Structure 1
């Protein structure tokens, strides 16, 4: 039986996840003691929530995937399709930075499991955005989610020191290629 977490335990868990996300996005090496320190918790608290580094990083990754996927319909409700796609791809840049850090820090088997978890939902969210753009006549009819996933996959090849200058620039180039010229 899964009981709800106590408020302080839930707060600790969220602080650990936020600290882990920050470390993954900026550090060359993911160290659990650094994550615990940033989160303001002891090692024991960290390990109670996440027994291994892989458990913690997998949860950071899964949480980012879930947030990214949930963003697509919200953006479409608030913006025209191209603006929604643009903002979603901006969010994807941050997701890719976390993915790159997580994948660098976990074993090959964990990477494969995490990729399997994300590819379908991300493709579905992207298809929703592209379909809305095609219906509005602002997205090329010959572009699909797989095209964009392959192109955006190259973000993982960026070095950390060039991320801020190149990632969003590359997304803008991709967006120009996706837009309908009609």
Structure 2
């Protein structure tokens, strides 16, 4: 792919994520206009709005997967892995603010990848409970949901907060609410 085509694709995906987060019904034409691209350029790459959405979610999943790998959820000490994960995923959530419910008919591959990433986080929470890091009397699904919700709050309710500070707060709040006393 030519350098200008790569830049156009990156601009389109970045802009598309933000436009669709603001207005889930936005058209390809609206996204193209905000990205400064001709709609025909977009349609050459993505024949349908759904194809564009799948590409957006694939980009989001790529970044989330990278963050999970770098956090070393299975090897690093729980507190270290948790902080690394939150510090890495906050910028990803800001860069790709789309919610997967935007997909009208979930792409099988995309949904499978999403479930695999969710399973990795759930396994991490299980590990935290098993190692006594999280309270055993709190349902694991609550701890997992609380982590997701705190990340979402940190990423979007205070977008100027730096990721390390956001991670500090998320970890502290998570542990005070679900941490072993």
TM-score (norm 1): 0.64
Question: 1:11 Cα deviation (Å)?
Answer: 1.2
The answer for unaligned runs of 5 or more in structure 1 is none
Distance 2:22 2:88 in 1: 22
1:9 to 5, 8, 29: 5
Q: Partner of 1:138 in structure 2?
A: 133
Q: Give the equivalent residue in structure 1 for 2:179.
A: 179
Alignment of 1:1-182 (within 5 A): 5-76=1-72, 80-87=80-87, 90=90, 94=94, 97-99=97-99, 103-104=101-102, 106-107=103-104, 109-110=105-106, 114-128=110-124, 131=127, 133=128, 137-140=132-135, 148=143, 164=157, 176-181=176-181
Distance 1:95 1:130 in 2: 28
More helix by share: 1
- Pick closer, same or farther for the CA change 1:179–1:94 going to 2, 3 Å: farther
Instruction: Name the CA distance, whole Å, in 2 between partners of 1:39 and 1:180.
Output: 47
Aligned length: 162
Structure 2 residue runs without a partner (length 5+)? 159-165
Asked if the contact 1:123/1:145 (under 8 Å) is kept, the reply is no
Task: Tell me the CA shift for residue 51 of structure 1.
Answer: 0.9
Q: What TM-score comes out, normalization by structure 2 length?
A: 0.64
Determine the C-alpha separation between the residues in 2 that align with 1:112 and 1:149.
Answer: 24
Q: Say if 1:17 and 1:60, in contact at 8 Å, map to a contact too.
A: yes
Query: Does 27-36 or 54-63 show the bigger shift?
Result: 27-36
Q: Indicate if the aligned counterparts of 2:64 and 2:89 stay in contact, CA closer than 8 A.
A: no
Alpha-carbon distance between aligned partners in 2 of 1:88 and 1:73, rounded to the nearest angstrom? 10
- Compute the RMSD of aligned alpha carbons: 4.0
Contact 1:139 1:180 in 2 (8 A): yes
Q: Does the aligned pair in 2 maintain the 1:20–1:35 contact within 8 Å? A: yes
